[in-house]
């Protein structure tokens, strides 16, 4: 509320918008949405009303997530109990802490629902709106770019990317006209340093390593390598070169089959998860970035009856890691082990099945053998 109060009073220089927790570091969409909350809650004084609004947002978010899972038909119904009722941290992020992360994720899940209905332009518009609330949504961007190329080709996806870019310009225009450098460096600061005391995932490292730029560069390289490997060997299902994605879908040989619901969801969720695994730091509110995608990531691969309990156990250990405050060496290591196990399952569980070239016996031959008997 303090960060948007300056804008409510007419301040358009982004570098002057700040609060007790520091300067405003989110894009313009955050300012407009929380300005609405600022006025709706009597300048931030009616906390109970804000909690009711976020409780409604929580239910809407669940509805959007359930609709995605209903379309994929991958996750057993009992897992939804853990998604709804078993996460103290998620309830805290939504209804107690009132962070902007749930707002961004709810808009994102609405965009994914639109992608599943083949409303790509509207989906891109809402995806960009989610980015304007918080930049973590960009972790889904590599997957979305891959989907747009596969669905429309290079020339066909350019208008969709223009929709994303144009909305960012329109939302940021009041601030861009006053101090464009200040707005861009504050709202899209990719090099911002995180405080070691809040990290959930790197507590086992010395603080000097955590703050080291070489370590950040290594994580970025690991992230890019992971995206490249998944794009080449898990997202791209055709035997043709990945460069065929640049062609018009109608001119590809053989023509690309239509995107399935599970392809769309898997590519977007795994793109985000790769970014989570390679994040420079995860703070407690960041749990909502991927909490609702974990059941799909765990159950999207073929699962035997005996494998259900280890997957539920993984969800429980991840929840325990995020509920450990302050984080410890054990909790942060455990979180990385869980992430690594999920990555291994995604890699080996979605590997292409080798095609058998054994000729099938003809009907005539089968009939002959029966006659001989």
| Location of structure tokens 């984080």 | 327
DSSP designation for 94? I
Mean pLDDT, residues 193-213 taken together: 93
Could you give the C-alpha distances from 322 to 122, 250, 278, 339, 341, in angstroms and in order? 34, 47, 17, 13, 17
Give the domain extent around 23. Answer: 2-184+199-348
- Pairwise CA distance, residues 179 & 158, whole Å: 28
- Pairwise CA distance, residues 20 & 1, whole Å: 10
User: Is residue 57, in this structure, part of any structural domain at all?
Assistant: yes
User: Is residue 369, in this structure, part of any structural domain at all?
Assistant: no
pLDDT per position as a tens digit, 313-361: 999 999 999 999 999 999 999 999 999 999 999 999 887 755 444 444 4
Residue with the larger pLDDT of the pair 88 and 193: 88
User: Is residue 208, in this structure, part of any structural domain at all?
Assistant: yes
What does the pLDDT read at residue 363? Answer: 45
What does the pLDDT read at residue 121? Answer: 97
Q: How confident is the model at residue 131 (pLDDT cuts 50, 70, 90)?
A: very high
Of the candidates 43, 5, 44, the one whose C-alpha atom is nearest the C-alpha of residue 24 is 5
- Pairwise CA distance, residues 100 & 26, whole Å: 9
φ, ψ for residue 236, nearest 5 deg: -85, 105
User: Is residue 328, in this structure, part of any structural domain at all?
Assistant: yes
pLDDT per position as a tens digit, 152-165: 999 999 999 999 99
Structural domain total, the chain: 1
User: Is residue 318, in this structure, part of any structural domain at all?
Assistant: yes
Task: Share the mean pLDDT of the chain.
Answer: 91
φ, ψ for residue 114, nearest 5 deg: -70, -40
- Pairwise CA distance, residues 102 & 110, whole Å: 12
pLDDT per position as a tens digit, 2-18: 899 999 999 999 999 99
Answer whether 295's CB lies under 8 Å from 315's CB: yes
What does the pLDDT read at residue 366? Answer: 45
Of the candidates 22, 7, 1, the one whose C-alpha atom is nearest the C-alpha of residue 175 is 7
User: Is residue 108, in this structure, part of any structural domain at all?
Assistant: yes
User: Is residue 265, in this structure, part of any structural domain at all?
Assistant: yes
């Amino acid at each position: 509320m303090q960060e948007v109060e300056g804008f409510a009073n007419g301040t358009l220089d982004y570098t002057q918008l700040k609060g007790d927790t520091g300067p405003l570091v989110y894009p313009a969409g955050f300012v407009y949405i929380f300005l609405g909350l600022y006025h709706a809650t009597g300048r931030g004084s009616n906390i109970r009303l804000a909690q009711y609004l976020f409780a409604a947002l929580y239910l809407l978010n669940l509805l959007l997530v359930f609709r995605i899972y209903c379309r994929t038909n991958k996750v057993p119904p009992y897992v939804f109990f853990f998604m709804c009722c078993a996460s103290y941290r998620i309830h805290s992020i939504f209804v107690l802490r009132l962070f902007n992360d749930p707002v961004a994720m709810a808009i994102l899940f609405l965009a994914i629902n639109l992608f599943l209905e083949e409303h790509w332009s509207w989906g891109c518009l809402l995806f960009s709106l989610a980015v304007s609330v918080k930049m973590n949504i960009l972790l889904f961007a590599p997957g979305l770019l891959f989907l747009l190329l596969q669905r429309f080709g290079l020339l066909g996806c350019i208008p969709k990317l223009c929709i994303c870019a144009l909305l960012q310009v329109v939302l940021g225009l009041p601030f861009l006209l006053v101090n464009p450098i200040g707005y861009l460096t504050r709202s899209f600061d990719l090099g911002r340093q995180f405080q070691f005391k809040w990290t959930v995932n790197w507590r086992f490292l010395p603080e000097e390593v955590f703050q080291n730029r070489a370590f950040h560069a290594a994580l970025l390289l690991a992230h890019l390598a992971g995206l490249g490997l998944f794009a080449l060997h898990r997202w791209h299902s055709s035997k043709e070169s990945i460069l065929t994605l640049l062609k018009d879908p109608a001119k590809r040989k053989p023509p690309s089959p239509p995107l399935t619901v599970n392809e769309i969801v898997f590519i977007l969720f795994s793109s985000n998860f790769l970014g989570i695994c390679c994040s420079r730091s995860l703070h407690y509110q960041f749990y909502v970035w991927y909490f609702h995608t974990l059941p799909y990531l765990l159950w999207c691969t073929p699962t035997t009856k005996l494998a259900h309990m280890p997957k539920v156990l993984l969800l429980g250990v991840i929840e325990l890691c995020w509920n450990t405050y302050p984080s410890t060496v054990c909790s942060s290591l455990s979180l990385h082990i869980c992430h690594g196990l999920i990555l291994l399952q995604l890699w080996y569980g979605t590997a292409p099945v080798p095609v058998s070239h054994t000729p099938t016996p003809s009907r005539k031959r089968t009939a002959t053998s029966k006659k001989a008997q």
